[in-house]
Structure 1
């Protein structure tokens, strides 16, 4: 749904065959996660990330992602080292076959694996919330960054698996900086 789309509780309840109470609770949860705006006496609408909101989110994401990559490199990928290597191969295969619909879940999975590899559960949970918001903003603009993104991911995975925390953190920071630049360009017009 596009930003600003009105979400009518009664319609949603009818569509899913539930009462309005769980719909109201779901909308409240979505509001707390930033996906929905609730305005008293007007109801719920799909949120539209402002340029400032999107940039602030990217700054938070950068800090979390850099720390995650550094900790993951200290552990050489930990228990998910093989999965981290495999996902880069799967993404290359998806790119070579132009399977663009397979790319967004792989992007999300890559970043989840890096967070898991960090060994820090609290960090992984915070990053999960940030990544869900970020992926919501970016899924519409995937083709603008798909090729360079997996080159970045391959380099980050290599640094993590080789146990290079400084390099992994730097590469992740540069990777997120490209997304920040894309946010600025998308919201400039």
Structure 2
């Protein structure tokens, strides 16, 4: 993460990122208590941003609030993440198939630009991240199913921290997917999304 984005973080986001990294690295183990006062002292802040951080981590599945004990590190984090990835996988494939049936729907022009950018850079530069909407969100919009889009957004918020990121492969995958969607090929789009996600999940 660049310094500019780091400086834009709220105290709660900074604390959440730090605790998340400690949990993922194993420095904080399942069942360990996360004492607000201790964490607040360590960061030199009040308990308010600590509570915000713990609420964020609980929403992501890292933390569990136990009655009379407060917040503790989740004991089922990895199991929960595997299950969420399975759910995400199925929803993303369905979204790609529906998007292809709609030939990109209301975001067809944006998907066409994904293909054009890949051609311009020869498929060898990092995926474009300058747009307001991510590629996967574009596909969810293109599906025309608002319920599916909402479900995907909720799942992705909980698993995005654990997904792999191979920029070169992402450019190629996104362009191929966009082409299949714009070409109205739901079977091909579903297959390409499945392959793309398998590579993504293999890096977790």
Tell me the TM-score normalized by structure 1.
0.70
The more displaced of 160-169 and 31-40 is: 31-40
Structure 1: runs of 5 or more not aligned: 184-189
Quote the residue 1:132 is aligned against: 157
* Match runs of 1:75-94 below 5 Å: 75-89=102-116
Relative distance call for 1:77 and 1:29 in structure 2 (3 A) is same
Which residue in 2 is equivalent to 1:187? Answer: none
Structure 1: how far apart are the matches of 2:71 and 2:113?
A: 45
Query: Which one has a larger percent helix, Structure 1 or Structure 2?
Result: 1
Higher CA-based Rg: 2
Higher relative contact order (CA 8 A, sep 6+): 1
How do 1:120-159 and structure 2 match up within 5 A?
A: 120-138=145-163, 141-142=164-165, 145-159=166-180
Distance 1:167 1:81 in 2: 17
Picking from 111, 116, 120, the partner of 2:141 is 116
Once residues 162 and 83 of structure 1 are traced to their aligned partners in structure 2, the CA distance between those partners, rounded to angstroms, is 14
CA 1:23/1:121 → structure 2, altered by over 3 Å: closer, same or farther?
A: farther
Across the aligned residues of Structure 1 and Structure 2, the Cα RMSD in angstroms comes to: 3.6
Give TM-score scaled by structure 2 length. Answer: 0.66
Supply the distance in 2 between the matched residues of 1:87 and 1:39 (Cα, whole angstroms): 46
Q: How far apart are the structure 2 equivalents of 1:177 and 1:119?
A: 24
Aligned-partner Cα distance in 1 for 2:56–2:103: 36
Structure 2 counterpart SS, 1:37: strand
